[in-house]
Amino acid sequence: MKILVVTEQRQAKWNKASFETLAAAQQIAAETKGTLAAAVIGKGVAALADELAGKKLDEVLLVEHDLLDAYTADGFTQALAQVITSAKPDLVLFPHTYQVRDFAPQLAASLNRGMIGDCVGYRCENGRLVFVRQMFQGKTAADVTFQGAAPWFASFQSGAFRADLVAPHASGKASVSKPSVDLKPEQIRTRPLELFREAKQAVDLTQAPIIVAIGRGIKAPENIPLAEKLAKAIGGEIAASRPICDEGWLPMDRQIGSSGQTVAPKLYLALGISGAIQHVVGMKGSRTVVAVNKDQNAPIFEIADYAIVGDIFEIMPALTEQLEKAKSS
Amino acid sequence: MSVQREQLEADVLIVGAGPAGLACALHLANLIKKHNESGGKPALSTENIYVLEKGREIGAHQLSGAIMNPRALAELVPDFEKSAPLDTPVTDDAAFFFTKNSAYRFPITPPPFKNRGNYVVSLSKLVKWLGGLVEKSGVNLFTQFGGAQLIYEGEGIAGVITEDKGVDKNGKPKDNYTPGYELRAKVTVLAEGPRGSLTKDLVARKELDNINPQTYGIGIKELWDVQPGRIQPGFVAHTLGWPVDFSTYGGGWIYALRDNRLSIGLVIALEYQNPQFDPHEAFQKYKTHPFLKRILDGGKLVRYGAKTIPYGGWYAMPRTYVDGGLIIGDSASFLDSQRLKGIHMAMKSGMLAAETIFEGLLAGDTSSKTLAAFPKKVEQSWIKKELWSVRNFHQSFQHGFLGGMFHAGLQFISGGRGLIDPMRSHPGYKAYHKINGAPAPERFKGDGKLTFDRLTDVYHSGTRHEEDQPCHLVVADLNVCSTKCVTEYGNPCQYFCPAAVYEMAAEKGELRLKINASNCVHCKTCDIADPYQIINWVVPEGGGGPNYEGM
């Protein structure tokens, strides 16, 4: 069996899952007495190809092109389709990464083949490969095999094989070849922009020493800036009870309570929150609770250290003003 | 976007791991084991039986009083007394009539309330135990998966599609999106409990209804730990009267379990006339009766829950078979509406279904021709006898308590026939009177010790749902809620829902229905009791819902 592993790199740095898949491929090659090649795709990645050549495999394919510098599904699909058509592997293996999820099904389909994704293992049964993948959130495992002619496509789940078990080359290095690929800019329909990393959650409420939480009493989303102003003046994070987040007035990661975050800040300012048990379980560990509510019978007052029976729309601006005055003096 | 679904094939797919579904699975597994051991051909495998359960774990969505008649369990697991979690045998049974301040004990406990020989159980615990036996038998049990759609094929059904996971509020896939599985089976068994969402669809589409529509009650229950010595374990009492008036059908229960644990609840038929009536509030008031207050005082609420009960009986039982499909348990009206007991009948219906399926698998024919044997088996079993004797019972009470007692008395002495047989019934929601400008009643608050507001109770149901998912209470036309229903019925959903899911929020001078779907305890009351029948309960993401451990 002729096996091809498609590795993954970004800006000349390995995606480590590549080596897990390589370890799996080495095992399959040994069991089926097959040959093994591995491909590196990108631009200026010869050093990676050289590193790969030190592993136990027969050949490294260095697939380079200007249009493969940044990842695009079209570019990778077309380049690999050409490589596969000329190299004629029986089995093409990928690590099951986000990038692979993006282009590999398209690649398989462009060659009129199916793909078995996210496998956790394999077996060789009478020369036939059986792949194992999880179903029902891991409660059961399904055996899946290929029908029809090669090449077959499969990807392995991250962690399914051990990267540290990749065997080194027995006698130095494998040969590195550079298959030519023919790509034209107009074939690539997407235009990659600068790489960016999603900003981390701006807020970790569990670490905030002061939390200003709003409830139904805030009435409308237009009123939220009043509370945000107060939060800023007091140096606290804004949070809310479930109805506010449910309405989409604040993001869900700002929700305190049984279906949100559990917090225990030094100061918890509850504005217009009635204090249903679902909310209280998420904040009752707060050191000092100040509650403002119009209804003097609101259950929040049972756990409040300071209770203000009154209108939050009078109290929020007044508090903000006092805090700002205190700060500036 | 067309969705690629993974497919799995099974011999038998059972939707719902309650007493009916699990008894079906276990009995079928036992039959297969015996068959294989005696070298029967073709050999069958218990691994080809799948059970789906939407709850977090087996038993999580099980709620009942519960007094269990052990008849079916003894047939299914002959030595059940050795290992089943039977809390206590019934040692004393009583019936009371309540007025606001007094309790009158019936001098002789009326026959329907006699319970010697039965057990007080936690249905949740019992079902969890039964699930263990099923798992051991090699059957595949999938918790946290609900049946979202039936696969219709030809004249019947060919399986189920499970619910999509990882879909956000607006129906867009999230990072963890997993499309539902397409599970195909030779026989699909609907064991969803009362008002199953797939059963509802199947019965409507294939017009399987009987001469009477199904009618329902809602049971609201709290589990308490009471002060030692207040009540003897095994004492069970049923009450009629206050706070239920004569125009409403309902009653209460108090069952004493071991270790000072008490099950207390109220059942109200979902066919009352006042659309602003609030069953949860009635139950809270019930607990303030001096007789109950004395028992509960100083105790602690442990858990809360609510569930509907099918009252319709024999004449409301839908056709229970189609090509490749059977309906069992509460989904098919296997419940004695006089004694309000269904656990034994649900189990027995599951066992009879298992026998039918077993014969079909051996014959290689699971069409309605073979599956039609199921209702015949029911006819020949003790289920028929028990249901037949009360076939007109509940219908008698649709026009008030006193008339009901009169008819029921005549039925009692005539083996169930009574004056009119079959007695017809109407769907419960048709009983509502219009509010005619009546103001919205003030909401019950509770004292936080003996009585509770709805949200506090919901908290004690342990219910949880992924918040960012499509609303599983699908209202066909929200305009009806904010216009017509406001004036005609005063939005009864706010009152009948025992979990504070429905709320009319005032917004810029207008009322708008707000659905707090994550409070839902899966009781199905809204789907049943909505006056316009525009609420459709569909399964939320698997694993969501109450945690009825110990209920």
Segment B296-328, tens digit of pLDDT: 999 999 999 999 999 999 999 999 999 999 999
B467/A259 Cβ within 8 A:
yes
We find that the CATH architecture of domain A205-328 is 3-Layer(aba) Sandwich (3.40)
What pLDDT is stored for residue A198 in this prediction? 63
What pLDDT is stored for residue A201 in this prediction? 57
Average pLDDT, stretch B346-350?
98
Residue of B nearest to A141 (CA): B8
A276/B464 Cβ within 8 A:
no
Average pLDDT, stretch B496-523?
93
What pLDDT is stored for residue B413 in this prediction? 87
CA distance B9 to B183: 6
Fold for the domain defined by B84-117+215-310: D-Amino Acid Oxidase; Chain A, domain 2 (3.30.9)
DSSP class of residue B56?
Answer: S
Average pLDDT, stretch B257-261?
96
Q: Cα dihedral angle (A318, A322, A323, A324), rounded to 10 degrees?
A: 100
Q: Which of B58, B175, B515, B518 to mutate to test the interface with A (most CBs of A within 10 A)?
A: B518
Min distance A329 CA to chain B CA atoms (Å): 41
Residue of A nearest to B517 (CA): A246
A135/B181 Cβ within 8 A:
yes
Residue of A nearest to B543 (CA): A137
Min distance A325 CA to chain B CA atoms (Å): 35
Segment A210-256, tens digit of pLDDT: 999 999 999 999 999 999 999 999 999 999 999 999 888 999 889 99
Domain regions of chain A by residue span: 2-187, 205-328
Residue of B nearest to A297 (CA): B445
Domain regions of chain B by residue span: 7-66+128-213+314-389, 84-117+215-310, 394-426, 431-537
**Chain B residues close to A297, C-beta within 8 Å:** 445
What pLDDT is stored for residue B447 in this prediction? 93
Q: Kindly indicate the confidence band of residue A200, based on its pLDDT and cuts at 50, 70 and 90.
A: low
Mean residue pLDDT across chain A: 93
**Does the CB of B177 have a partner CB in chain A at under 8 Å?**
no
Does residue B521 register a pLDDT over 60?
A: yes
Give the CA radius of gyration of chain B.
23
B6/A135 Cβ within 8 A:
yes
Does residue B1 register a pLDDT over 50?
A: no
Percent of chain A with pLDDT over 90: 81
What pLDDT is stored for residue B538 in this prediction? 98
Q: What is the pTM of this model?
A: 0.86
Higher pLDDT, B1 or B181: B181
What pLDDT is stored for residue A154 in this prediction? 97
Decide if A2-187 and A205-328 have a common fold: yes
Segment B43-52, tens digit of pLDDT: 999 999 999 9
Distances (CA, A) of B71 to B76, B119, B163, B196, B299: 9, 11, 35, 25, 34
Does residue B261 register a pLDDT over 60?
A: yes
**Does the CB of B8 have a partner CB in chain A at under 8 Å?**
yes
CA distance B542 to B538: 11
To the question of domain B431-537 being in CATH 3.40.80.10, the answer is: no
CATH number for A2-187 (one of 3.30.420.40, 3.40.50.620, 3.40.1390.30, 3.40.50.720): it is 3.40.50.620
Does residue B269 register a pLDDT over 60?
A: yes
Does residue B224 register a pLDDT over 60?
A: yes
Q: In terms of DSSP H, where are the helices of B287-400? A: 290-296, 343-363, 368-371, 373-380, 382-389, 393-396
Segment B101-132, tens digit of pLDDT: 999 999 888 888 889 999 999 999 999 999 99
Does residue B504 register a pLDDT over 60?
A: yes
Segment B232-249, tens digit of pLDDT: 999 999 999 999 998 899
Among the residue ranges A200-204, B24-28, B258-262, B441-445, the one predicted with the least confidence is: A200-204
Does residue B518 register a pLDDT over 70?
A: yes
Average pLDDT, stretch B377-396?
95
CATH superfamily, with its number, for domain B7-66+128-213+314-389:
FAD/NAD(P)-binding domain (3.50.50.60)
CA-nearest of B179, B183, B156, B153 to B166 is B179
- CB-nearest to A277 from B142, B144, B459 is B459
Q: Which of B7, B142, B449, B463 to mutate to test the interface with A (most CBs of A within 10 A)?
A: B142
Bond prior to B531 in cis (omega within 30° of 0): no
- CB-nearest to B464 from A140, A255, A259 is A259
Segment A55-76, tens digit of pLDDT: 999 999 999 999 999 999 999 9
Min distance B223 CA to chain A CA atoms (Å): 18
Would you say how long chain A is, in residues? 329
Average pLDDT, stretch A31-53?
96
CA distance A161 to A157: 8
Average pLDDT, stretch B201-205?
97
Mean residue pLDDT across chain B: 95
| Cβ neighbours around B494 below 10 Å, total | 20
A139/B468 Cβ within 8 A:
no
